[in-house]
Amino acid sequence: MKIMIFKNDKGFYSRGVSKKMQDGTYQKAYFPVQFKKGVELANRTQIEVKNSFLSFYMNKENKPVFYEMIIDFELANGTTTVDTTAINTGNDFNSSELPF
C-alpha cells in the first residue's frame, strides 16, 4: 500500500489516516511514524511500506502514545531506499591484518 509521509518543521514524521462518516464527509487524523536511524525523507514523500510494526512509548502523563515503526519501504517511484547500516565507512578490515 502506498502512503504519504509528512515531515513537520521539527523533523518528526507522520502519516494521514481518514474515515468516511455517515453523512459522507471524511474525518482526518495523523499517526506518528518512525524510521530506522539514518533515514531522511522530504515532506509529502510517497512510499510503499514493505515491513512495519506498531509500538508505543509512555508520555509525561503516563499514557501510551502509539506510532508505526517502518523497517523496510520503497519510494513510490520504485527506487529502493538506502540501508544506512550497510554503508561502507572505510573501517572494514580483513582478519588477517590483525596482529594476533
Each residue of 32-55: pLDDT tens digit? 999 999 999 999 999 999 999 999
In a domain, 81, yes or no: no
CA-CA distance, 76 to 81, in Å (whole number)? Answer: 10
In a domain, 32, yes or no: yes
CA-CA distance, 10 to 54, in Å (whole number)? Answer: 22
Expressed as residue numbers, the domain containing 31 is 2-75
Give the confidence band of 77 by pLDDT, cuts at 50, 70, 90.
Answer: confident
Cell numbers for 48, please give them: 510503499
User: How many domains does the structure of the chain reveal?
Assistant: 1
In a domain, 95, yes or no: no
**Is 3 within 8 Å of 18 (Cβ atoms)?**
no
In a domain, 64, yes or no: yes
**Is 47 within 8 Å of 5 (Cβ atoms)?**
yes
In a domain, 82, yes or no: no
In a domain, 100, yes or no: no
Note the pTM of the prediction, 2 decimals.
0.71
In a domain, 89, yes or no: no
In a domain, 63, yes or no: yes
